[in-house]
C-alpha cells in the first residue's frame, strides 16, 4: 500500500467494530498510521483507538473531513441522514471519495444528502472482517475513477475478499449471500453441535468437532479448484453414511430452504432501503 507522506488521508466517521476492523487491517497491511483518522463522540473510545492503533482519533467530524481524501461513513443507517446533512458543506468543499458501509442506503440517496455530484462507493462487508477473513461487495457510481476503485479495493482487501458489482441492485444479493451469510453458517454449526450432543457427545466435544469441521471444509473449498458440488460428491461414497445424511438433507428440502431464506434477506434489504430513503 501507499506510504506516508504521499498516502491518501483516510477519515473514518464512526469507529465501531467494522471501521476498526478496516483500519486495523489497513495498518497490518502497511498503511501509514499518520494517514488514518477516526472520529468518535466517546472520549473513552478515542483514547482506546489512539493507544491500540496509533492513529489520530478526533471528536469533530467537520475538522476531520477538511483533511480527507477518502471519507468512510461507518455509522448506523438510522444516523446517516443527519450525519450527511451535517457534513454536506465540508464534503462539497473538499470533494473526497466517499465510501459507505451502511446497509440499506443507496448511492443516490447518500449523494443527495451530501449535496450531489460526488464519487461514491457502497460497500457491504461482513463480520468475519473482524478477523481478517471478510467478504465485501462494492458498487461504484459513475463518478468514481479507476484509481479510486483501485484504492477502495486495496482498503477492503486488507480485511478479506473484495467483489465488485456493476449494478447497485446486486448489493442486495451480496447482502443475502455474504453480508448475512455468516449467521447462516453459525446456525448450521449450532445445529450440528446440538445433534452431536443429542447423540451422546460431551457438549465441549460436540462444539469443537462442529467448529473444526466447518473450518476445515471451508479451507478445503477455498484452496481447491473444484466446485463445492464436486467436493461433496467426492466425499459421498455410494450407499455410505454420508450419502444417507445427504439424502436426508435433500428430502427435507435444504436447497429450497436456503433459496427462500436468501430471497427473504434480499427483500428485507430492499424494504430497509425504501424506509431509510424516506426519512
Known binding-site residue numbers: 13-18, 40, 61, 74-77
Binding residues for NADPH: 61
Instruction: Find, among 133, 132, 138, 44, the residue nearest to 100 by Cα.
Output: 138
b/e sequence 237-276, b meaning 16+ C-beta within 10 Å = eeeeeeeeebeeeeeeeeeeeeeeebeebbeebeebbeeb
Q: Contact 137/123 with Cβ under 8 angstroms?
A: yes
3-state secondary structure of 13: strand
Binding residues for NADP(+): 13-18, 40, 74-77
Measured CA to CA, the distance from residue 57 to residue 200 in angstroms comes to 51
Distances from the Cα of 26 to the Cαs of 2, 33, 36, 263, in angstroms? 10, 9, 9, 33
Measured CA to CA, the distance from residue 152 to residue 214 in angstroms comes to 30
Amino acid at each position: 500500500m501507499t506510504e506516508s507522506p504521499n498516502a491518501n488521508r483516510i477519515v473514518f466517521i464512526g469507529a465501531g467494530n467494522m471501521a476498526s476492523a478496516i483500519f486495523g487491517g489497513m495498518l497490518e497491511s502497511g498503511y501509514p498510521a499518520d494517514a488514518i483518522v477516526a472520529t468518535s463522540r466517546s472520549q473513552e473510545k478515542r483514547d482506546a483507538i489512539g493507544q491500540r492503533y496509533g492513529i489520530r482519533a478526533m471528536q469533530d467530524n467537520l475538522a476531520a473531513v477538511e483533511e480527507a481524501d477518502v471519507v468512510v461513513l461507518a455509522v448506523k443507517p438510522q444516523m446517516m441522514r443527519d450525519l450527511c446533512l451535517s457534513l454536506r458543506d465540508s464534503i462539497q468543499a473538499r470533494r473526497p471519495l466517499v465510501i459507505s458501509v451502511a446497509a440499506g442506503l443507496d448511492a443516490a440517496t447518500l449523494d443527495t444528502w451530501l449535496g450531489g455530484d460526488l464519487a461514491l462507493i457502497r460497500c457491504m462487508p461482513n463480520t468475519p472482517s473482524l478477523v481478517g477473513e471478510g467478504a465485501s461487495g462494492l458498487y461504484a457510481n459513475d463518478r468514481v475513477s479507476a484509481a479510486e476503485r483501485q484504492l477502495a479495493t486495496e482498503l477492503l482487501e486488507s480485511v478479506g475478499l473484495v467483489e465488485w458489482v456493476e449494478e447497485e441492485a446486486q448489493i442486495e444479493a451480496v447482502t443475502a449471500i455474504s453480508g448475512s451469510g455468516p449467521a447462516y453458517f453459525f446456525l448450521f454449526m449450532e445445529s450440528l453441535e446440538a445433534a452431536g450432543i443429542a447423540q451422546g457427545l460431551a457438549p465441549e466435544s460436540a462444539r469443537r468437532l462442529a467448529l473444526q469441521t466447518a473450518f476445515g471444509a471451508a479451507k478445503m473449498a477455498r484452496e481447491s479448484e473444484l466446485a463445492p458440488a464436486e467436493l461433496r460428491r467426492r466425499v459421498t461414497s455410494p450407499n455410505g453414511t454420508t450419502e444417507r445424511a445427504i439424502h436426508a438433507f435433500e428430502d427435507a428440502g435444504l436447497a429450497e430452504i436456503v433459496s427462500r431464506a436468501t430471497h427473504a434477506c434480499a427483500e428485507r434489504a430492499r424494504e430497509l432501503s425504501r424506509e431509510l430513503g424516506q426519512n
